[in-house]
Structure 1
Amino acid sequence: MSKSKRFFFQILLWLTVWMILSIGQADNRRLFIENLLVFSFQVFLIAGLIFYLAEKFLFKKKYLLFFVISILAIGLCTFISSNLFTPPRMPRIDELRHMPRRPPSRFLITLLFLTISYVIATFLETFLFAQKKEEETIRSKNENLQTELKLLKSQINPHFLFNSLNNIYALSVIDSNKTQESISYLSDMLRYVLYECERNFVPIEKEITYIENYIRLFSLKSSKPYNITTDFNSMDKSVSIAPMLFIPFIENAFKHSNIEKPNGSFINIKIITMSSNVRLIIENSIPKEKIHKDKLGGIGIENVRKRLNILYPNQHQLQIKDHKDVFKVELNINLTDYA
């Protein structure tokens, strides 16, 4: 709401109050004339607050200056409006003896009206300012989150492309006849990354198809089948999730399981999709002999942790367990608020 709208709203409010007070009065015209100056000073004080004092002092936390200026302004306006047209008359001594108890002076009544209107105006200005700042804070946080998400996605795509090209290069050395098939898988995967992943959410089936292509591309590196089992159980195919959430965990399993060596290595991937949640379970073997690798659960998994905290705050559970021979990742995403 603009300053002008706030100003006219409050003036209309106090005009309505004065009209209500005039109801039932014997001489409405006299009441109007006597209090016209009071209303004029209400307009003056509210205008000064909205268009100058609040922004200059109150919102900049110069509370002492704001308080002093406000008190002086209310006092001066009260004095002028209560004495300008009705100067006080000093009663004679004999009148004082028989004078009945007088109602509150005009000065006190005027002071009360001006103070109440000014305090209410200050409260409304403070409330609207706080609401505006909260909206700006929320908007700023959303913009920062979107920027961070874009940054995290930009970190995913080069990583994916680098790994895939490495796989194709290795495949071309082993069996050039399968290179064409691997390029076809890579083309489908790139299409998904470049076009589908620009959306905030994608159908779960497309994410699973991407994972299947990744496994096929990797499996082409050897003529012998790898010990990889998958179970993609989609009870509700209409479910959508944020793209590229699962693949870092799967890449991690392929990287650290030593799956290319058949001596007991394995990878088990399970995705269960229901209307209310999606569950990912990955188990991979931990080789007995040490292999040269980055720290387990490195940049890729940290990336996913950040994305999960942004996209599904308090709506996901991620458990990573490192047993003696098995590394297990279990991710459960609650989709109740994203249906």
Structure 2
Amino acid sequence: MQKVKRIFWLIHVIVWVLFTFLVSLQLYTDDHNYWVPFTIGFILTALLVFYTHFFLLTKYLGKNQKRAYFLRLAAIASIGPLPFLILHPKRPDSWNLILGYYPMVLLTLVPIFLFLSWLARVTENLVLNTIKKEQLEKQAVETELHYLKSQINPHFLFNTLNNIHTLVYKQAPAAPQAVMQLASLMRYMIYESNAPTVPLAREMDYLQDYMSLQQLRYKKSPVVDLTVEGETESCHIAPLLFIHLLENAYKHGPARLEPGDLKVQIEISEDILTFRVQNPVRQNPVSALEEPGGIGLPNVRKRLALLYPGQHSLEIHHAGDTFAVVLKIHGLHTQVHERKAQLLHH
């Protein structure tokens, strides 16, 4: 905001310098004998009228104090011609000067710069209010995104700690690796996910840490069949975008998952990223609040609407005992630069 105000004042300085140059050049070209005092008097009158009214509007514009405003406006109009009269080559006490030039300046020069100062004040207020509104909207969006990112099921953390405690108690060889994976997962959630975008490869590392910690609940081979197609290093996405989809697959699958029951596929083709997750649905009935999809899908929908408006599709398929979600994000290779520019603009 302060930067914008400095830009406005720089524009003021440049405009007044150019205006002074043009007025003096015109008087000098007309071979006016007193072009210097006339120029100084003209510019000082313009500056006096313009800025006294400009700052008067700063105080009263938009407020219900019309009487105070118009009284001060009349005073500005009355004293506005004085610099021009004082610097006039004729004696300031000359009646011809007072009766001739004073009404002329009062009726021509003063109204023009009163209007210009009003136009400048209104324009500046409009720009500043627009920027302020955009900043507030951006802040609201960032607050909502922060809240949505923080909604990862806390039970996962507690269950993981209990599993690690059991491994440590039994002195299992997998305990140190599990601690490192949990530390990596928490580090990513707390620190790295604050960036607007992250490399897709780093997001995948996070998902794999999550899957490895979930695997502690199972004694069998990996329950997740993960496949990746395409170049992940050159692709950037918003962080923590897939975790709710993967979490739902664990949450709403059978209590005892078999190897390969959860199928996760990530595909990058040209500028389209496709994320698919499929899981078997538990056989016992669940309540409406815990039906496949849960709170994770609404969370993902809100984040996608905020982060990728008009550049994504989210399809949900529930057929028989299988539940699948397909997320597609378009224009990712250009999206990185566009989103950075948009954030800088706001």
Same fold (TM over 0.5): yes
Structure 2: distance between partners of 1:87 and 1:302: 80
* Corresponding residue of 1:53: 56
Quote the offset at 1:281 in angstroms: 1.0
Structure 2: distance between partners of 1:194 and 1:327: 31
Q: Larger deviation: 305-314 or 325-334?
A: 305-314
Quote the offset at 1:143 in angstroms: 3.7
- Report if aligned partners of 1:167, 1:218 keep a CA contact under 8 Å in 2: no
Q: Where do 1:251-270 residues align within 5 Å? A: 251-258=247-254, 260=256, 266-270=261-265
Change (3 A) 1:159 1:194: farther
Identity, % of aligned positions? 24
* Corresponding residue of 1:119: 115
Structure 1, unmatched stretches of 5+, are: 91-103
- Report if aligned partners of 1:265, 1:286 keep a CA contact under 8 Å in 2: no
| Larger Rg belongs to | 1
Change (3 A) 1:310 1:42: same
Residue deviations 1:4-46 (CA, integer Å, cap 9, x gap) = 75664554344234214314324331x5556755543322112
- Of 24, 31, 37 in structure 1, the residue corresponding to residue 29 of structure 2 is 24
Quote the offset at 1:302 in angstroms: 3.4
Residue deviations 1:174-221 (CA, integer Å, cap 9, x gap) = x957x5426523522431431443444332223223323333433443
1:197 aligns with 2:193: yes
* Corresponding residue of 1:273: 268
* Corresponding residue of 1:87: 96
User: Which one-letter code corresponds to 2:58 in the other structure?
Assistant: E
1:107 aligns with 2:116: no
Residue deviations 1:290-322 (CA, integer Å, cap 9, x gap) = 147734433333333333334334433223343
Residue deviations 1:117-163 (CA, integer Å, cap 9, x gap) = 23223222322232223333333333444444444444438454234
Structure 2: distance between partners of 1:9 and 1:66: 32
- Report if aligned partners of 2:317, 2:323 keep a CA contact under 8 Å in 1: yes
* Corresponding residue of 1:338: 336
User: Which one-letter code corresponds to 1:207 in the other structure?
Assistant: E
Structure 2: distance between partners of 1:240 and 1:88: 74
Structure 2, unmatched stretches of 5+, are: 86-91, 338-346
Q: What TM-score results when the alignment is normalised by the length of structure 2? A: 0.73
- Report if aligned partners of 1:205, 1:237 keep a CA contact under 8 Å in 2: yes
Quote the offset at 1:257 in angstroms: 1.9
* Corresponding residue of 2:133: 137
User: Which one-letter code corresponds to 2:44 in the other structure?
Assistant: S
* Corresponding residue of 1:222: 218
User: Which one-letter code corresponds to 2:74 in the other structure?
Assistant: L
SS in 1 for 2:290: coil
Structure 2: distance between partners of 1:6 and 1:198: 37
SS in 2 for 1:229: strand
Structure 1: distance between partners of 2:98 and 2:160: 98
- Report if aligned partners of 1:202, 1:240 keep a CA contact under 8 Å in 2: yes
- Report if aligned partners of 1:318, 1:329 keep a CA contact under 8 Å in 2: yes
Q: Larger deviation: 241-250 or 282-291?
A: 282-291
Structure 1's consecutive aligned runs of 4 or more residues displaced over 6 angstroms after TM superposition are: 78-84
* Corresponding residue of 1:94: none
Structure 1: distance between partners of 2:195 and 2:98: 79
- Report if aligned partners of 2:226, 2:263 keep a CA contact under 8 Å in 1: yes
Structure 1: distance between partners of 2:94 and 2:37: 10
User: Which one-letter code corresponds to 1:42 in the other structure?
Assistant: A
Change (3 A) 1:11 1:217: closer
- Of 177, 180, 186 in structure 2, the residue corresponding to residue 187 of structure 1 is 180
- Of 233, 240, 245 in structure 2, the residue corresponding to residue 244 of structure 1 is 240
Structure 1: distance between partners of 2:156 and 2:274: 23
Quote the offset at 1:267 in angstroms: 2.5
Structure 2: distance between partners of 1:140 and 1:226: 46
- Report if aligned partners of 1:228, 1:266 keep a CA contact under 8 Å in 2: yes
Aligned length: 319
SS in 1 for 2:152: helix
- Report if aligned partners of 2:267, 2:275 keep a CA contact under 8 Å in 1: yes
Change (3 A) 1:321 1:289: same
SS in 1 for 2:298: helix
